Structure 1
Amino acid sequence: MSGNENSGDGEFDDVINAEDILHVIELDDNRDISEVMEEADLGEDFDDDMEASGGQIEVQDMAGVVFDKHKDAVFSVHIDPNTSQLAVTGGQDDTAFVWKISTGEVLFECTGHKESVTCTSFSHDGTYVATADLSGLVKVWKIETKEDVFTFECSDAEWMKWHPGSHVLFLGTVDGDIWMWKIPSGECKTLQSHGCTVSCGVILSDGKRMCVGYDDGSLKIWDLKSVSVQHNITGVNAHKSTVLCVDTHPVNNVILSGSTDVTARAYNSSTGKLLGSYDCSSPETEEDSVEAVALSPTHSYAATGTVAGVLSIWDTNTQICRHKCRHEGGIVSVQWDRLTPQVYTSCLDGAIRLWDARNGEMVSKWTGHTDSILGFDVSRDGKYLVTVSEDKTARVFSLSTSDR
């Protein structure tokens, strides 16, 4: 174990007091993907196709680049938000790679992990890349020198995020603690557990607070400077079971969470007040959960995705569901386009889709994977879509202006 714990004020606090951030980079939730796949009902047609093709589905490969250096399922991906030229992927083979999106060329391998690498992320300026595995081993690498500059071991990792405006790294663990490190010095603070797993988290747009969800259905809004809880959302205002995902609006004070209780809930981050609850259940299925939520940065829309394969588009002003968009498999993650009222979905059926929130119509569909997609990211410049899959590959798709 390395890194220095420091619970007091000082230089560490200065990096938290960043100016308002209008765009928070979101990563996929790092729930064990096997749990999601077990709950998803892909349907008889999916199974028949798999059996007829010997386990491989015949699909049109629309990818411009196929990254095939991983030896097992690839769980996580993030694109450098600074240059949009590099991707980092982590997989079940206990490895992570930083590679060039345009060619698939490996820049360097992030070695030393003990178990599946489920969390990978670049810092906001692309100076560092962080990787974390299921055992709780966290490593940070400097891109310019390709050197390991920070290593820490804690309990099993659930999720990891960088601060959107400074070199501060956050890691949520199965024992419920949230670690907060200043990189590369390793100065450390801990947001203490109340006794259950912290399942997801997001830094709020002011850069000074964080909202996290827990296995018992509760949520907390933490002040990062004082390491104190501003709002503790429990009881009737909380979820009835595990909070799987949480998002925040890049400008206003709205937080959106999703849960295994098959609801999404909106809160005011300033007051902790419950603004509304969205029923995301599907009458045709009993086993379901909300796996992904996202708030549109440009319109008054919210998106929720479920294991049953339903993308719901909600009007946040009226709390009315505008559209339900059906998928052939469970939805793993959703992400809004930065400029338009369109939303991407990744699905266990092996495809990425783009939907128009105004009419509920599918705008584009990208195929090429022969197994479930486990995560994706869209480059900040809007040119590339990178996906990772159970089929041991990552794929790069070019995005045209007509798609968006």
Structure 2
Amino acid sequence: MNFRRCQVMFRRNSFWSVQQQTESGWVSLVTEDSTSPYEPLSSSYRTRLQDLAEELEDVDFSEAGNAGNAGNADDDGWEAEDEMESEQDDSELTFSKHTGSVFCVSLDPVSNSLAVTGGEDDRAFVWSVSDGDVLFECTGHKDSVTCAAFSCDSKLVVSADMSGLIKVWKVENKEEIWSFEVGDLEWLEWHPCAPVLLAGAADGNVWMWKIPSGECKTFQGPSCQATSGKILPDGKRAIVGYEDGSLRLWDLKQGNAVYVIKGHDGHQGALTSIACNKEGTLALTGSVDGQAKLFNTSTGKVSRDTAEQDSNSVESVGFCNVLPLVAVAYLDGTLAIYDMNSQSLRHRCKHEVGVVHLQWEEASAVVYTCNLAGVVTLWDARSGVMMSEYRGHSAEILDFVLNRDASVAVTAGGDHQAKVFCLQRPDR
């Protein structure tokens, strides 16, 4: 097997895929006993894959490669190509305190001057976007830090690892003020206007805490992973998606499920991404089944199913704030732009590799993507034209975030680095 033409993709919600490049593009490799190339990994399988990755890092392929691939034009110049790709660095600043892949990044919402990153090295850092100086480290984690974010007022920051250990820190004095441990953590989110945390676990439970008092409420779902979640803008309801393809709208005050979407109306695989419009009246969900579903949050009625031909998983979804458009990013490298008024596909924007995450600008119809090639790309959703690209990572980008006016992007990469990019556009 040609190692250069294969890739293993991990996502924050514990799903995985193995892909091989063919003449027709990237295709998924399915083992004999698998029913889907995107089944959730147990902790033991995650450990085995991490051990395998570490072993491969120590293997010297140079001698065997020279002997076995002599005269192979396709393999000639690997080092030159890799060096050329890694030499281009469009970033203004590189944060290099992590010693493993950086899984998550968030900006403080008030000033956008601080970033928090979490990584495979069981560490999280709060640092300055302007100069990379570390304000403090979120210490004491026992596993990879996969969630890290600031509260709505930027006064608190949370860091959480895969084992389920959650810690909250006060930014002003850099002190830990609260901690809690749940089962294996799938996702975590701050309330949009209060010091309240919502988190989903592998056992299907969703937890809600007031910080720092620790007052707690739980929402019991089906007996499967709560793979994704989103608090609606009103702060009173939350949408939670599960491994079995169902989703529930929870009343956060009463603690009951307002409705359940499942079966034909639900997904046929685990949910990977949830987004809502700024009014909170519509929600969009993505799943490993390759579909995105648009539904009314008040009634639970599904108004639109979208699926790209031969697509294998939806990685990220999002709403445009200024036009009736939604974006859906697929693992096969497709970014699809849909018109909600006509309920039709408007543009199909292609990447050479899988898309990991997308984000719309707050005040324009420009959508940003990051991908497995380590590139941030800007797309004009009105025309479907690529506006610009930003490079600098030597491995995949696993997460990114824009500041308020979309002048800065901060990325988290598999090359153990976070980077700050200053974004330039011809129209501003």
TM-score range (shorter-chain normalised) is 0.7 to 0.9
Larger radius of gyration: 2
TM-score under structure 1 length normalisation:
0.87
> Would you say the 8 A contact 1:95–1:116 is kept in 2?
yes
1:301–1:147 CA distance, 2 compared to 1 (3 A): same
Query: Which amino acid in the other structure matches residue 201 of structure 2?
Result: T
1:205–1:238 CA distance, 2 compared to 1 (3 A): same
- Matches of 2:195 and 2:76 in 1, distance apart? 47
| Cα displacement (A) at 1:317 | 1.4
| Structure 1 partner of 2:385 | 361
Correspondences of 1:20-169 after superposition (within 5 Å): 30-32=12-14, 35-36=16-17, 38-39=18-19, 51-53=78-80, 57-169=85-197
Structure 1 gap segments, 5+ residues each: 1-28
> Would you say the 8 A contact 1:59–1:369 is kept in 2?
no
1:201–1:112 CA distance, 2 compared to 1 (3 A): same
Residues 1:397 and 2:421 aligned together: yes
TM-score under structure 2 length normalisation:
0.83
1:48–1:345 CA distance, 2 compared to 1 (3 A): farther
Residues 1:277 and 2:259 aligned together: no
| Structure 2 partner of 1:5 | none
Residues 1:312 and 2:336 aligned together: yes
1:206 is aligned, of 231, 234, 237, to: 234
Higher relative contact order (CA 8 A, sep 6+): 1
Instruction: After superposition, give the CA deviation of every residue in 1:317-366 in whole Å (9 maximum; x if it has no partner).
Output: 12211111111111101100001001000100110001001110011111
Q: Determine helix, strand or coil for the equivalent of 1:257.
A: strand
- Matches of 2:170 and 2:427 in 1, distance apart? 34
| Structure 2 partner of 1:240 | 268
1:100–1:63 CA distance, 2 compared to 1 (3 A): same
> Would you say the 8 A contact 1:117–1:133 is kept in 2?
yes
1:42–1:351 CA distance, 2 compared to 1 (3 A): farther
| Cα displacement (A) at 1:32 | 3.0
| Cα displacement (A) at 1:80 | 0.5
| Structure 1 partner of 2:47 | none
Query: Which amino acid in the other structure matches residue 372 of structure 2?
Result: L
- Matches of 1:338 and 1:272 in 2, distance apart? 26
> Would you say the 8 A contact 1:60–1:368 is kept in 2?
yes
| Cα displacement (A) at 1:50 | 9.3
- Matches of 2:148 and 2:20 in 1, distance apart? 25
Query: Which amino acid in the other structure matches residue 208 of structure 1?
Result: K
> Would you say the 8 A contact 1:42–1:329 is kept in 2?
no
1:268 is aligned, of 296, 317, 329, to: 296
1:134–1:40 CA distance, 2 compared to 1 (3 A): farther
- Matches of 2:269 and 2:398 in 1, distance apart? 23
| Structure 1 partner of 2:324 | 300
| Cα displacement (A) at 1:281 | 3.3
2:215 is aligned, of 168, 172, 187, to: 187
> Would you say the 8 A contact 1:263–1:281 is kept in 2?
no
Query: Which amino acid in the other structure matches residue 263 of structure 1?
Result: Q
- Matches of 1:67 and 1:403 in 2, distance apart? 29
- Greater shift, 197-206 or 86-95, is seen at 197-206
| Structure 1 partner of 2:314 | 290
Query: How many pairs were matched up?
Result: 370
1:179–1:115 CA distance, 2 compared to 1 (3 A): same
- Matches of 2:24 and 2:307 in 1, distance apart? 27
- Matches of 1:215 and 1:322 in 2, distance apart? 30
| Cα displacement (A) at 1:31 | 1.8
Residues 1:348 and 2:330 aligned together: no
- Matches of 2:411 and 2:386 in 1, distance apart? 19
Q: Determine helix, strand or coil for the equivalent of 2:264.
A: helix
| Structure 1 partner of 2:65 | none
- Matches of 2:354 and 2:346 in 1, distance apart? 20
- Matches of 1:331 and 1:32 in 2, distance apart? 16
Instruction: After superposition, give the CA deviation of every residue in 1:205-240 in whole Å (9 maximum; x if it has no partner).
Output: 211000111100001000000010001001110011
> Would you say the 8 A contact 2:234–2:280 is kept in 1?
no
Q: Determine helix, strand or coil for the equivalent of 1:52.
A: helix
Query: Which amino acid in the other structure matches residue 73 of structure 1?
Result: S
| Cα displacement (A) at 1:163 | 0.3
| Cα displacement (A) at 1:44 | 11
| Cα displacement (A) at 1:260 | 1.0
- Matches of 1:254 and 1:313 in 2, distance apart? 16
- Matches of 2:19 and 2:105 in 1, distance apart? 23
Instruction: After superposition, give the CA deviation of every residue in 1:228-270 in whole Å (9 maximum; x if it has no partner).
Output: 0001001110011111111011115110001111110001000
Residues 1:378 and 2:402 aligned together: yes
Residues 1:259 and 2:241 aligned together: no
Query: Which amino acid in the other structure matches residue 164 of structure 2?
Result: G
Q: Determine helix, strand or coil for the equivalent of 1:196.
A: coil
> Would you say the 8 A contact 2:102–2:414 is kept in 1?
yes
- Matches of 1:337 and 1:141 in 2, distance apart? 29
Structure 2 gap segments, 5+ residues each: 1-10, 27-73
1:142–1:39 CA distance, 2 compared to 1 (3 A): farther
Q: Determine helix, strand or coil for the equivalent of 2:374.
A: coil
Q: Determine helix, strand or coil for the equivalent of 2:86.
A: coil
